[in-house]
Structure 1
Amino acid sequence: MTQPPGQPPQGAFGAPQDQPPPSGGFGAPQQPPAQGGFGAPQQPPAQGGFGAPPPQAGYGYPQQPAPGPYGTPGPYGPQPGYAYPQQQPQYFGGPGGPGMTPPPGGGGGGRFKGKPALIVAAAVAGLLVVGGTVYAVTGGGDGGKEPVARQSADPRTSGTPVNPGDGSGDGGADPEDLNAGRKSGDAKVLWYKSAPDAPASGADAPGMWITGKTAVKAAYKQVFAYQVGNGDPAWAPITFPQKICAVTSRKSADDKVVVAYMNGTSDRAKCNQLQEIDLDTGKKGWTATVADGGLFDSALSIGLTISGKTLMVGRSESGTAYDLGSGAKLYDKKKYGAACFPTAFAGGTGRLVEVASCGAGGGNEHDEISQLDPVTGRVQWTRAVKQGWTVERTYSVDPLVVYMTNEDKNAWNISVLDGKGAFRSEVKVNEKFAPRCGFAGLDRDLQGCHGVAADSDTLYLPTDVTGGGNEIVAISLTDGTAKWRTKSPTDESMYPVKVQGGRLVAYVRPSYDAGGQVVSIPTTGATHPTTGLLRNPQHTADIEDGFYDGALDWADGRLYLSATRLTGSDDAKEKLMMAFGN
């Protein structure tokens, strides 16, 4: 393929800063130190992640110029294990390691039994107390508007019974009366749903999508929908013949998602059955069966990514794009160039990023990052990553912020690329950061990190907790230095959620004597303490924390929490979903 017009130069640009990841930390898999691997003794500085050897001519490759000034060793020496994202254990988010039994509870245990971490998937809703009057923060959602304060209709301490429901949306009297101990200024528990039955070995409950009308949740073989305000069933649950194995983590602009489920129960069963769903109506749209890509590229497991009006289905060594509206196949992304295989995709509004593994077994192993036209698949630019570096995550797609590791060097790097693929900057802050990242296993989950946010010129990362809470650090995408930092208002972790209306919204985890909080911080700088937006009740803090490894969202003044893994324990009274508001 010819080089796309306006192709930025390929080459040894931006030797990114090398930093060693920590060997553990709460939420990280506990592994014995390995020579040259994560947790090994610190290694001397290595060359940065970008600037791989020139790729051979082929599909998607720009012409290689002479090495640039950034092909030299990185100027920033290793620091003691910071910025490594906290990894969740292998059973998809719970405590313990591979093969460990998940704990009981709505999301699997609570923070008061070892302080596991809460994955933050989005933001929350809130209260604003002005002159002793309680106000509820409304508006915002995904529209980027500043939250608006309105007076709460019920600031009193009296309880309001909650319809618990079950996994099917049916309910009855609230046996716990979760609002009975609510204090003035506390948010209400609007509703909660008990989890459906799951196998004794456990089951996944991936995804959570909030629209202006419905809160939709997948669990095991079903997809449930509730009315956002009161939790009543919005439409009848959709039941699949086999377990759900993949979902689009984000919904489309017109509130559509795609769910994949297995085609059988045997060891050879594949995750290849696709179903489009309208979140507001529950109407099932188009269906498709994902074909295998080759001998070592089957659909045993897949990843689903939405970019504008395109659905990209990623296999281990290729991808297939579908029109999200009709289900029509658009194109395939296959092997190209010097044995380059597309292995992962990340999508945003009109932007699709591909990561490929190249040159395996040929002595020139390296990753490549490409930006694709979502509709046609045309390569807009490609950047090679220096040999030894692996692209693990995208902390943001637009702007593009990538997290990379070098196992041999026991190093990490966070780099920023501009809209044409040119190296823009790298994080230079000497800090131990701890965004919440699920365990990717054998497959790369480029968009599997939460608790990190970005706008056009700033990256917001949480530091690890060493006692007495943590901080959020605002990092310039222009030069990689810290612009400001803000400390958590409590002794618990605080995580970025999203930037909205010129302010950063963050979530503060609950403690044994207080519920979780939602706070906002002006993006122009933190010269004063955080501003409180929502305060959850103390008496439901343990329940709230039971979703520590689950999904979290904030929309229209409501906080939604849901489990992402069901234990299947008959002794556990598992909760599937919970909503706070006013």
Structure 2
Amino acid sequence: MPDNPYAPEGYGTPPPRPPRRRRPLVAAVLALLLLGAGAYVLGDRSGADRAPSGHAGAESDAPSAAPPPRASARPTPSPSRIPTTAEIARQRRAGEAGAWIVDDRTDLPRRNIPTEDLWIVGDTVVQAIYKKVVAHRLSDGAQLWSVDLPTPVCETPVNATPEGKVVIVLQNVEAWTGARCNQLRMIDLRTGRAGWHEQLTETGSGDGTITVDSAISGGTFAIVQSMKAFAYQVADGRKLYEIPMENPGKCYPGRVAGGSRLLVLADCAINSMEKAYDQVREIDPATGKVRWRHRTEPGRRIGQVLSVSPAVITTAHRETHAEDWRVVALGPDGKVRRTIDPRPKGFKHCGDSIDTSGNAQACREAVVGGGLVLLGGTDRVGAYDLGTGKLLWGVKDEGTSYGYYPLRVGPGRTGMVYQLGTNGKPGRVFRVGPGGVDTIKDVLRLPASTARVEFGMGAVGENAYVGDRLVITPAGLSGDDARHEPRMLSFAP
């Protein structure tokens, strides 16, 4: 039975959850490059947001194959048989949500293939996977269009433009060995048409493309190449500007975050553990002008961008990592508005991971809205006021859940939350607000017939929530036919 997290009883340590790694990148080589330049590297920097997931989600000449998601304490079984949408409908019980499933039979290489961001455009959900971009109708999951790509996908931005266009980054060759992530291709998500294609310029002076990270804000596509960052116009691929590098030799762009604002994260003074700090800047997407900048305290680094407007980030100590983390809300001038320490109530950092090698917007366990930050985790969910820093409400489970994922802030300071099911018990979407457990009201009761599939996909994956519809997708797909998994599962009343 859920409980109130204000009370300390029963606060055990939940099992660790794997970080969201989404890109076939080789961070170790970047570390060697930076060390060769006289820099100290704390961790890897793969080029990778989750992603606002519908909440409205460095390089080498010989990169290795894409790593599978890290092992989790949770079992993540592959279903022995994947049910069809028609079978799910026939087995639907009274009060259960309707569901559709995408059983993608694309022939994949025999290795783990990461799935990419979920884009919701109008009445479609779109996703890039391996060498294609596919759109499905939200109402029934029917495939509407598919765009074939010449080479595998390296990187996708979390957001599309307001007009529904994205720029995806492809490898230059099919093979992983010797590949670079230097091919840009624009896709119109509303029509399914491929647009312009450009190759990133590499001069050998810190702008390599084995590791890249990208974001879209307005009509601007921003990308970090190794230790430099550039901006392009989404409509036609025209290069707009190089994102200014401040304190050359001391600060290097590492990641970008997009949406209604464009934020650039940089690693600074990285040759000294004690003095090293991170910097975040808001950049005018159209001109490249710096609107404001914020630097962390020495010895701390930025973990994830939870929101770009308002700007809300997480920070962590460079030595103790996820053991010492905070939520930091910034004002419109980049100054600290409020620092929140969620640790006394048992909240872990984005699945108990501080992974600066991935996308800066890849925290599935947090969502910002209405002046609140909702934090989830293995066994609890709660809401903090960004103005006062106080915990307004919370729900804690007594060890019967495998994950609470906040989806949206609702009216009356309520939150919509996805509670992941177990191997034999389906999940649900519920509303909760001030008053905690006594206010819980189910919005979606997920079908019992999909419990096993839901658990296998949702334990390590991502989700989107639009209207009253939930869409989940696994973190990756196996190219092993004996371990075939579905690519997408969706629920609605």
**Both proteins in one fold, TM over 0.5:** yes
**Paired AA for residue 105 in structure 1:** S
Q: Is the counterpart of residue 480 in structure 1 residue 392 in structure 2?
A: no
8 Å contact from structure 2 (residues 244, 288) kept in 1:
no
Alignment correspondent of 1:458: 372
Alignment length (residue pairs): 426
8 Å contact from structure 1 (residues 103, 567) kept in 2:
no
Deviation at residue 91 of structure 1 after TM alignment = 3.1
Superposition pairs of residues 37-186 of structure 1, within 5 angstroms: 91=67, 93-95=69-71, 105=78, 162=84, 177-186=87-96
Superposition pairs of residues 380-529 of structure 1, within 5 angstroms: 380-408=291-319, 411-429=324-342, 430-434=344-348, 436=350, 443-465=357-379, 470=380, 472-487=381-396, 491-492=400-401, 493-502=403-412, 503-522=414-433, 526=436, 528-529=438-439
Greater relative contact order structure (CA < 8 Å, 6+ sep): 1
Superposition pairs of residues 290-329 of structure 1, within 5 angstroms: 290-292=200-202, 294-329=204-239
Deviation at residue 533 of structure 1 after TM alignment = 0.8
8 Å contact from structure 1 (residues 317, 343) kept in 2:
yes
Distance 1:425 1:538, change over 3 A: same
Alignment correspondent of 1:57: none
**Paired AA for residue 416 in structure 1:** A
Give the whole-Å Cα distance in 1 for the aligned partners of 2:352 and 2:189.
25
Q: Choose between structure 1 and 2: higher strand proportion.
A: 2
Secondary structure at the aligned position of 1:207 is classed as strand
Give the whole-Å Cα distance in 2 for the aligned partners of 1:579 and 1:527.
26
Deviation at residue 440 of structure 1 after TM alignment = 7.8
8 Å contact from structure 2 (residues 156, 168) kept in 1:
yes
Give the whole-Å Cα distance in 2 for the aligned partners of 1:476 and 1:442.
26
Residue deviations 1:480-510 (CA, integer Å, cap 9, x gap): 2212223459932322111244542110111
Q: Is the counterpart of residue 221 in structure 1 residue 131 in structure 2?
A: yes
Give the whole-Å Cα distance in 1 for the aligned partners of 2:157 and 2:311.
20
Residue deviations 1:320-366 (CA, integer Å, cap 9, x gap): 111222222111125322522111111221x1111212234378532
Alignment correspondent of 2:16: 26
Deviation at residue 442 of structure 1 after TM alignment = 6.7
Range with bigger deviation, 241-250 or 436-445: 436-445
8 Å contact from structure 2 (residues 162, 218) kept in 1:
yes
Superposition pairs of residues 209-288 of structure 1, within 5 angstroms: 209-235=119-145, 237-264=146-173, 265=175, 267-288=177-198
TM-score normalised according to structure 2 size: 0.78
Give the whole-Å Cα distance in 1 for the aligned partners of 2:256 and 2:209.
15
**Paired AA for residue 475 in structure 1:** Y
Range with bigger deviation, 489-498 or 181-190: 489-498
Give the whole-Å Cα distance in 1 for the aligned partners of 2:98 and 2:164.
27
8 Å contact from structure 2 (residues 421, 454) kept in 1:
yes
Give the whole-Å Cα distance in 2 for the aligned partners of 1:210 and 1:371.
25
Residue deviations 1:248-303 (CA, integer Å, cap 9, x gap): 12222222222211001253321111111121210112222222364343111211
**Paired AA for residue 570 in structure 1:** D
Alignment correspondent of 1:128: none
**Structure 1 residue runs without a partner (length 5+):** 1-21, 30-89, 111-160, 164-173
Residue deviations 1:212-265 (CA, integer Å, cap 9, x gap): 332222211111122222333212x21212111111122222222222110012
8 Å contact from structure 1 (residues 316, 343) kept in 2:
yes
Residue number among 232, 238, 251 corresponding to 1:340 in the alignment:
251
Alignment correspondent of 1:54: none
Distance 1:437 1:256, change over 3 A: farther
8 Å contact from structure 1 (residues 334, 341) kept in 2:
no
Secondary structure at the aligned position of 1:376 is classed as coil
8 Å contact from structure 2 (residues 338, 386) kept in 1:
yes
Deviation at residue 520 of structure 1 after TM alignment = 1.4
Give the whole-Å Cα distance in 1 for the aligned partners of 2:88 and 2:351.
31
Secondary structure at the aligned position of 1:543 is classed as helix
Distance 1:464 1:517, change over 3 A: closer
Give the whole-Å Cα distance in 2 for the aligned partners of 1:515 and 1:238.
34
Deviation at residue 104 of structure 1 after TM alignment = 6.5
Residue deviations 1:418-468 (CA, integer Å, cap 9, x gap): 010111111144122135459786735211111211124221112543xxx
Deviation at residue 543 of structure 1 after TM alignment = 0.7
Residue number among 185, 201, 225 corresponding to 2:111 in the alignment:
201
Q: Is the counterpart of residue 376 in structure 1 residue 352 in structure 2?
A: no
Distance 1:573 1:228, change over 3 A: same
**Paired AA for residue 95 in structure 1:** A
8 Å contact from structure 2 (residues 97, 447) kept in 1:
yes
Secondary structure at the aligned position of 2:482 is classed as coil
Give the whole-Å Cα distance in 1 for the aligned partners of 2:228 and 2:93.
54
**Paired AA for residue 15 in structure 2:** G
Deviation at residue 205 of structure 1 after TM alignment = 1.8
Distance 1:334 1:512, change over 3 A: same
TM-score normalised according to structure 1 size: 0.67
**Paired AA for residue 406 in structure 1:** H
Deviation at residue 578 of structure 1 after TM alignment = 2.0
Question: Matched residues, percent identical?
Answer: 26
Distance 1:563 1:356, change over 3 A: same
Give the whole-Å Cα distance in 2 for the aligned partners of 1:439 and 1:486.
22
Distance 1:420 1:389, change over 3 A: same
